[in-house]
A and B are shown apart, each in its own frame.
Chain A
Amino acid sequence: DADVTQTPRNRITKTGKRIMLECSQTKGHDRMYWYRQDPGLGLRLIYYSFDVKDINKGEISDGYSVSRQAQAKFSLSLESAIPNQTALYFCATSDGGQVAGELFFGEGSRLTVL
């Protein structure tokens, strides 16, 4: 089983709908992240959390919100989805005590907003 699990893996929705992407991890890491990948743009940070009570905006947080329900769970919400939020979304974790900078990524959630 994957150490970082994302659900759903694929989702097609309509403009204006509320969408939640969920992430759970079994690595025991404190730090969790949500990234967005678009062709030719690489990986861009949406939100990150260093522990359950810590939430920080990344470089492209507008239109998104997150919830850190537990150390192992970090969800990303789109309150009112729009077509330019069509992308591949990755959850990642890290442990500051291990290899500095090593992120462990989930397999991705592909979201299409029509």
Chain B
Amino acid sequence: GQQLNQSPQSMFIQEGEDVSMNCTSSSIFNTWLWYKQDPGEGPVLLIALYKAGELTSNGRLTAQFGITRKDSFLNISASIPSDVGIYFCAGRNSGGSNYKLTFGKGTLLTVNP
């Protein structure tokens, strides 16, 4: 099946630093999504990308859909303590009535005040 390689697995940064994480795939996706999971909660959608080359921002977050459709990155600028959590990328291939998201293994982000 399709697999996503998400890196890094974990990051320890100081408050105020910028963060970058990425996902790569061996196959093409039509949609890339980035989710965040706060401790003790379920994942929440941060950004959705639908077109190759698309660059989308949401506050301090910026994500891009790679031109090859096989990769995506997420940047967080000027990190703050509440950015702590697990970030997941997810890819989707839509076709007919089928729908399936493939998730990366997550990046655990720790922000030191």
Interface size for A (C-beta < 8 A) is 25
Does B51 reach chain A (CB closer than 8 Å)?
no
Please pick, from A4, A41, A99, the residue contacting B105 in the complex, using a CB distance under 8 A: A41
A64 CB–B CB distance under 8 Å: no
In the bound assembly, the distance between CA atoms of A41 and B105 in angstroms comes to 5
Q: Which residues of A contact B1 (CB under 8 A)?
A: 59
Contacts of B50 in A (CB 8 A): 100
Interface residues on chain B, size class: 20 to 34
Contact B101 A103 (CB under 8 A): yes
CA distance A94 to B100 in the complex (A): 11
At the interface, yes or no: A43 with Cβ under 8 Å from chain B? yes
- Please report A residues at the B interface, Cβ cutoff 8 Å: 4, 31, 40-45, 48, 50, 58-59, 90, 92, 94, 96, 99-103, 105-108
- Contact indicator A101/B48 (Cβ below 8 Å): yes
Q: A50-B97, A99-B48, A102-B48 are in contact. Are A92 and B42 (CB under 8 A)?
A: yes
Tell which of B41, B45, B101 touches A108, judged by Cβ atoms closer than 8 Å.
Answer: B41
Main secondary structure on A side of the interface with B? loop
CA distance A108 to B39 in the complex (A): 11
Q: B48 touching A43 by the CB < 8 A rule?
A: no
Q: How far is the CB of A72 from chain B (nearest CB, A)?
A: 17
25 example contacts (A-B, Cβ-Cβ < 8 A) are as follows A4-B42, A31-B99, A40-B9, A41-B105, A42-B104, A43-B88, A48-B99, A50-B97, A50-B99, A59-B1, A90-B42, A92-B42, A94-B99, A100-B31, A100-B48, A100-B50, A100-B94, A101-B33, A101-B101, A102-B48, A103-B35, A103-B101, A105-B42, A107-B40, A107-B41
